[in-house]
Amino acid sequence: MKLWVISEEVVARFGNELGACGIELVVCSADAIQEGANGFLLTKESDGKLLQQRMQQPGTGPWLALVYGSDVPYDWANTLHAQCEHTGEHEVIRMALFTRERALLGGEPNGRWMRFLCKQLARCSLVTMVCGMREVDEAVRQFPRYLAWKEQFYIELGASCDEKGISLLQVSRALGMDKRIGQGWLYPSRQDSSLIIRWLEKECRLVLQKANIQRIVLWGDDSLWGHMPSDWLAEKDVAVYMGEDKPIPNKRMTGWTRYDSWQDAVKDADLLVIGNAAGTTIAELPLSELVNGMRQSYVIDAAACFPLQEAQSYFQAYRAIGENTNVWE
């Protein structure tokens, strides 16, 4: 199916993830709605004006107005539905994707486009749940809060595991045998990184006291490093790798060098600091290849990228949350 959007920015932001659902996004011209589309993708409040002003196409059948994204105004989709309901020309559906495997759809359960969209997502192997529009909004708002609480719990549990000399990874897997909890505990797309930042800074300061560290690699999203205090990095050669094809951040840290290649970033490094592995290749790398590129193989890992035994066998010292083994004595 094909949906019009108002800008290339929307295509760049959502094109890939919706493309995996069989939804093609095409930028609409400034003065007219072209034929051949099923409706509009609405992502923010200004798009509502587009819906009201330009979707009056008598005789074309009902259009789909798909409201998508975690940052749309709360209850906006329901408001649009109330405004358009009397015309019979538009069907508004609120949609949210989770882990690209499951989707929430809010709207009329027996609507034409709702039935079509459920079948479309099923063909793309997505499990869907149909509910009300405001229920989707509430779920989208509450998911980050729940995941943040869950992450805080596991960081505190990791500190307890450190004291007892046991594995957080194994404890978390044991807890995850209960389906109410689930196996995954890391939250890579967190909105508040303060807990991870404090943990990374504490561990980094410790290794700087114990080892001769000159070159440091920060591996992960720029949003994480931009909020981290940088005084502990003073007078160090700092390399930043955010993954392939990542845009250059607007805020550049003075004295830090951004690399497009992980091989160049880790070359002759003494300390590798992994903040967030999402969208990067690090968890798939042969550890021997990673170690061979470094001068010293000290690693602090907030993303639990590597199996503990394998990491201990390759790195001089490896520290992950709740894995207080082989550290900097």
C-alpha 219/C-alpha 243 separation (Å) is 8
Work out the mean pLDDT of the chain and round it to a whole number: 84
Q: Largest Cα–Cα distance in the chain? A: 76
Token reading at 108: 């009329």
Class of domain 193-320: alpha beta
Token reading at 181: 């909890």
Query: Please, are residues 240 and 257 in contact by the beta-carbon 8 Å criterion?
Result: yes
How do the domains of the chain map onto residue ranges?
2-131, 141-177, 193-320
Query: Please, are residues 199 and 209 in contact by the beta-carbon 8 Å criterion?
Result: no
The amino acid at 313: S
Q: What is the mean pLDDT of residues 254-261?
A: 84
Class of domain 2-131: alpha beta
Q: Is the pLDDT at 269 greater than 60, yes or no?
A: yes
| pLDDT tens figures, 206-239 | 999 889 999 999 998 877 888 888 788 888 999 9
Residue 223 CB: number of other CB atoms within 10 A? 15
Q: How much is the pLDDT for 40?
A: 84
- Per-residue burial over 156-191, b if 16 or more Cβ lie within 10 Å, else e, is ebbeebbeeeebbbebbeebeeeeeeeeebbbeebe
Q: Is the pLDDT at 23 greater than 70, yes or no?
A: yes
C-alpha 308/C-alpha 312 separation (Å) is 6
- The whole-model pTM stands at 0.72
C-alpha 27/C-alpha 30 separation (Å) is 9
| Separation in Å, CA 42 to CA 5, 242, 305, 307, 322 | 7, 29, 36, 42, 42
Express as a percent the part of the chain with pLDDT over 90. 36
Same fold, 2-131 and 193-320: yes
Which of the four pLDDT bands, split at 50, 70 and 90, describes residue 250? very low
| pLDDT tens figures, 60-88 | 557 888 999 888 889 989 988 887 776 66
HSE (CB half, 13 Å, CA atoms) of 2?
Answer: 9
Q: What is the mean pLDDT of residues 89-100?
A: 86
> 102-106 and 90-98 as β-strands: parallel, antiparallel, unpaired?
antiparallel
Please report where in the chains the tokens 């659902």 appear, as a residue: 21
Highest-pLDDT range among 24-38, 77-91, 123-137, 173-187: 123-137
Backbone phi, psi, residue 200, to 5° = -65, -45
